[in-house]
Amino acid sequence: MNNQSLTVIEPPRGWQSIGIRELWNFRELLRALLLRDVKIRYKQTILGIAWAGLQPLVGMVVFTIALNGAAGIPSEAGVPYPIFCYSGLLIWLYFAEALNRASRSLVTNNLLVTKVYFPRLIAPLSGVIAPVLDFTIAFVILLGLMVAYGVGFSWTVLLAPLILIGAILCATAFGVWLAALNVEYRDIGYAVPLLVQLWLFLTPVVYPASSAHGVLRIIFALNPMAGVVTVFRWAVLGRGAIDWSIQIPSLAVLVVVLVAGILYFRRVETSFADSI
């Protein structure tokens, strides 16, 4: 009689931990996905990485003409409106691109999801991290614009990379929710661009937060990106003061959405291969 043990491998059930050690073990896969995304984005393009700076520049020109010129919307703390606008668009466009990529990450990597085991969180994480290159290029352009407009630098500009982490966490928080839902409901992929467009105007990107009152101030307080945009602009321009009435509640909302999103993603990830 053979005394052999039988090992049964089953998918985990219920709520799972984040699995940070497992994510670290698969860091090479994350790096490979990032390199692939960057190469695909600029492959067979004439302007190449120049597109990273073109989008915020075009947005700056359009909003300067439409809002500052025609509608008379001011900037803040005496900063030229083009610089004010570009600084808000810079961090917002990173978030918009990262959210869009993260929400589609599982569907676009469907062959990998159905055939290879890896921590599924790597897919939305790769979508969130890849646009950092575009952000870096556009940030250098912003510094050049500040010199051209005679806007001085403050030591607070050194905090910009730290605040970018806040935008990364914000994109991750909402991206994991949308990525998981997009597997089951493909309408999410069509709804995200519309959501981002509406979200832009509920965030003080192209107008100062100080101009908002009443219900809009409450929306700012519940909007994590409102906190990120305003503190990023404060850091880059070195003007004004941090509005803690927006920062504290928006940070609290970010933490709740991030933790809940990751836990939900981990709970349903075992069904991705069957649903995708």
Assign 232 to helix, strand or coil. helix
Q: Establish if 14 belongs to a structural domain.
A: no
In a domain? residue 274: no
Mean pLDDT, the chain, rounded, equals 88
- Please compute the mean of the pLDDT values over residues 226-242 and round it to a whole number: 92
Which two structure tokens, joined as six digits, stand for 14?
A: 């219920």
Angle at 26 between CA 24 and CA 30, to 5 degrees: 100
User: Does pLDDT of 75 surpass 70?
Assistant: yes
Total tally of structural domains belonging to the chain = 1
Residues 19-69: pLDDT tens digits?
Answer: 788 888 888 989 999 888 887 877 766 666 777 788 899 999 999 999 888
151 belongs to a structural domain: yes
Residue of 44 and 256 predicted with greater confidence: 256
Residues whose CB is less than 8 angstroms from the CB of residue 53 and which lie 6 or more positions away in sequence, other chains included: 137, 138, 141
pLDDT at 247: 93
Residue entry with tokens 């409106």 = 81
% of the chain at pLDDT higher than 70? 91
Q: Does residue 155 form part of some domain? A: yes
pLDDT for residue 224: 95
Q: In terms of pLDDT, which residue wins out, 207 or 1?
A: 207
Q: What is the mean pLDDT of residues 140-146?
A: 95
Residue 214 region by backbone torsions, left for phi larger than 0, else alpha for psi between -120 and 50, else beta: left
Give yes or no for a contact between 258 and 172, defined as CB atoms under 8 angstroms apart: yes
The C-alpha atoms of residue 126 and residue 38 are separated, in whole angstroms, by: 10
> CA quadruple 23, 26, 31, 34: dihedral positive or negative?
negative
Q: Tell me the pLDDT tens digit for each residue of 148-163.
A: 999 989 999 999 999 9
pLDDT at 3: 56
The pLDDT of residue 143? 95
Q: Is there a domain that residue 11 lies in?
A: no
Q: Look at residue 206 and tell me whether its pLDDT is greater than 60.
A: yes
Q: What is the pLDDT of residue 164?
A: 96
- Of the two residues 215 and 48, the one the predictor is more confident about is 215
Supply the range of the domain harboring residue 150. 20-199+208-263
For the stretch 102-118, pLDDT in tens is 999 999 988 888 888 88
- Alpha helical stretches, state H, the chain: 20-25, 27-42, 51-63, 81-108, 110-115, 122-129, 132-148, 160-184, 187-201, 215-221, 224-237, 244-268, 272-275
pLDDT at 110: 87
Residue 234 domain flag: yes
pLDDT of the residue at 6: 60
Whether 79 is covered by a domain: the verdict is yes
Q: Is residue 180 part of a domain?
A: yes
Least trusted range by pLDDT, from 8-17, 80-89, 96-105, 107-116: 8-17
